[in-house]
Amino acid sequence: MVTLGVGLSACAGVQSALDPAGHEAREVATLFWVMLIGAAVVWTAVIGVAVYASRFKSGPYDDAVGHRVILWGGVAFPTVVLAGLLVYGLGLMPKLREPGEGLRIDVSGEQFWWRVTYRPKDGAAVASANEIRIPVGERVEFALTSPDVIHAFWIPALGGKVDMIPGRVNRLVLKAEKPGVYRGACTEFCGASHALMAFDVRVMEKPAFEAWLKAQSAPPPSAKGQDLFTRHGCGACHQVSGTDAKGEVGPELTRFGDRLTVGAGLLPNTPKNVARFIRETDTLKPRSKMPAYSALSNEDALEIANWLGSLK
Ligand code: CUA
């Protein structure tokens, strides 16, 4: 009963392949149900034949009837059903391979976060991290890779999942059909914090998305937190465009205040959590490349967190 409950609770929500919000995910969900029904029909037929056969364990055995049952129930019937499912499944493949419509998003899986670069058809590239925004109703092309180990990119409600392999770029095209916030995750074991490598996907109306993309190039407000950020060398790894922070090692933070989570889907993005993340990275996210700034006072960490939170 508990297993059934847990199983069913996975059928709805922001991270379920059975609650599709995109074209590709819908095709895959339909395929799942068709396959499940097909498998149930074959299973029922085969068990039926087995039960029928068990009646003859103490004979008399009618050869002609037995052969007919085996031929039709055990061979012909599964062959026809399975061939039908195969043809249906293969027929789906071209539908999942349609080209994108202009916007390309490069996503690189890195231990243990996501480097995101928007490449609109016209306009400059925009760097971001750990959150992906896409316009609704448009086929967006993702170019997926990795600089370290193999990760995998999956947004169950929208589609995927595709491996991110060092030295290779894998393509994926997704079309979201419903605005909302969905959750994606790394689905290839990639090290100590694999389970802590998630991201939010925000599907927006197209005008709002375009306005958001355009706003990404405005310079950020300065504050005491920015001084601390600079003084403690955060800019060696992180980038905040419009400031001296030009690091490439860690997640880009230019519009950090816009993001829903901190630490690649780890905690809700509140100043308190960000300050905590800065000071306790080693325990919150084992083996991440960011050292824990435990020497920083809680007040200073909060100042930095407040400044990062103001970057919208
Ligand atoms: Cu990245 Cu698992």
Reported as a single tens digit per residue, the pLDDT across 214-252 is 877 666 666 788 888 988 889 999 998 888 888 999 999
| Adjacent-strand bridge partners of 199 | 184
Closest atom of ligand 1 to CA, residue 189: 2
Higher pLDDT, 53 or 45: 45
Tell how far the Cα of 161 is from the centroid of ligand 1, in angstroms.
12
Predicted pLDDT of residue 58: 63
Tell how far the Cα of 243 is from the centroid of ligand 1, in angstroms.
30
* Distance between CA atoms of residues 263 and 251, nearest Å: 9
- Counting Cα atoms < 13 Å in the Cβ hemisphere of 132 gives 32
Contact assessment for residue 16 and residue 154, using Cβ atoms and an 8 Å cutoff:
no
In the block, tokens 């060696």 appear at 236
Of 39-43, 60-64, 151-155, 277-281, which range is least confident?
Answer: 60-64
Tell me the torsion sign for CA atoms 130, 225, 271, 310.
negative
Task: Say whether pLDDT at 4 is over 80.
Answer: no
Angle at 117 between CA 113 and CA 118, to 5 degrees: 135
Which alpha helices (DSSP H) does 12-131 contain, by range?
23-54, 63-69, 77-92
Tell how far the Cα of 47 is from the centroid of ligand 1, in angstroms.
41
Contact assessment for residue 199 and residue 264, using Cβ atoms and an 8 Å cutoff:
yes
Convert the pLDDT of each residue in 170-208 to its tens digit. Answer: 999 999 999 999 999 999 999 999 999 999 999 999 999
> Which of the listed CATH numbers 1.10.1040.10, 2.60.40.420, 3.40.50.620, 2.40.50.140 matches domain 104-215?
2.60.40.420
- Counting Cα atoms < 13 Å in the Cβ hemisphere of 286 gives 6
* Distance between CA atoms of residues 86 and 73, nearest Å: 19
Over range 207-216, report the average pLDDT: 88
Tell how far the Cα of 272 is from the centroid of ligand 1, in angstroms.
26
Instruction: Residue 196: name the closest of 115, 286, 275 by CA.
Output: 286
Tell how far the Cα of 160 is from the centroid of ligand 1, in angstroms.
14
Task: Say whether pLDDT at 73 is over 80.
Answer: no
Predicted pLDDT of residue 198: 95
Closest atom of ligand 1 to CA, residue 187: 2
Convert the pLDDT of each residue in 109-154 to its tens digit. Answer: 999 999 999 998 888 888 889 999 999 999 999 999 999 999 999 9
Amino acid making up residue 282: D
pLDDT category at 63 given cuts 50, 70, 90 is confident
In the block, tokens 């103001």 appear at 310
Tell me the torsion sign for CA atoms 297, 302, 308, 311.
negative
Ligand 1 is surrounded, with C-beta below 6 A, by 109, 112, 151, 186, 188-190, 194, 197
Tell how far the Cα of 93 is from the centroid of ligand 1, in angstroms.
26
pLDDT category at 42 given cuts 50, 70, 90 is confident
Task: Say whether pLDDT at 265 is over 60.
Answer: yes
Closest atom of ligand 1 to CA, residue 195: 2
Tell me the torsion sign for CA atoms 188, 104, 106, 232.
negative
Predicted pLDDT of residue 220: 67
| Second CATH level (architecture) for the domain 224-309 | Sandwich (2.60)
* Distance between CA atoms of residues 164 and 107, nearest Å: 9
Closest atom of ligand 1 to CA, residue 112: 1
* Distance between CA atoms of residues 73 and 244, nearest Å: 73
Amino acid making up residue 168: R
Tell how far the Cα of 153 is from the centroid of ligand 1, in angstroms.
9
Amino acid making up residue 26: R
Tell how far the Cα of 54 is from the centroid of ligand 1, in angstroms.
49
Closest atom of ligand 1 to CA, residue 197: 1
The residue nearest atom 1 of ligand 1, judged by CA position, is 151
Closest atom of ligand 1 to CA, residue 164: 1
Convert the pLDDT of each residue in 271-311 to its tens digit. Answer: 999 999 999 998 999 988 898 998 889 889 998 998 999 88
Strands 159-164 vs 170-175: parallel, antiparallel or unpaired: unpaired
What pTM was computed for the model?
0.77
CB count within 10 Å of CB 168 equals 11
